[in-house]
Amino acid sequence: MPRKVRVSVDLDICVGNAMCETYAPKVFVLNDDRQSTVADPNADTFENIMEAAQDCPVSAITVIDDETGESLFP
């Protein structure tokens, strides 16, 4: 079973760098303001989601283990 996660993006921080969209395009989708929003948090691989979170230049992405509630990023 692949790991299930909850993902969120803080729109007060997001600068629309959109690297997350290139790592995990089914999870991160840009809204009308060209900021990142979460479509389906489990539509891309766990590795790609974590990479998107780690490489966000302003650390706007939070990843939580859906089962245990453990914070996976930051």
Partner 1 sequence: MVTAISDEMFSGEAITDPYSYYGRIRDEDPVHWNEKYELWVITRHDDLVWMTRHHELFSSEFWSRDKRSPYPAIDESDLGLYQFMREFFMKWFIQHDRPVHTDQRKVVHKWFNPASMETWRPMVQQVVKDMLDEADEDGRMDVMKDFATPLPLFVIAQMMGMPFEDRKFIRSMAEKLLFIGRGEADRMQPLTDGIKELMEYLSPLVAQKVDLPVDENDLLSVLASGEKTGALTRDEVIADAILLLLAGHETTINLICNGTLAFTQHPDQWKLLKEAPFQDPDTVVRATEECLRYDPPVKSIQRIASEDVEMGGKLLKEGDRIRWFMSSANRDPAKHENPDTFDISRWPNTHVAFGSGIHHCLGATLARMEAQEAFKALAGRYDSISLETDEYEYQPSVTFRSLKSLPVSLK
Residues that bind partner 1 (CB under 8 A): 12, 15-19, 22, 33-34, 51, 54-59
Nearer to partner 1, 4 or 31 (CB): 31
Nearer to partner 1, 12 or 68 (CB): 12
Nearer to partner 1, 25 or 66 (CB): 25
State the minimum distance, in angstroms, from the CB of residue 21 to partner 1.
9
Report long-range pairs for 47-56 (Cβ below 8 Å, ≥24 apart): 48/23, 48/24, 49/5, 49/7, 49/23, 49/24, 51/23, 51/24, 52/19, 52/20, 52/23, 52/24, 52/27, 52/28, 53/7, 53/20, 55/19, 55/20, 55/23, 56/17, 56/19, 56/20
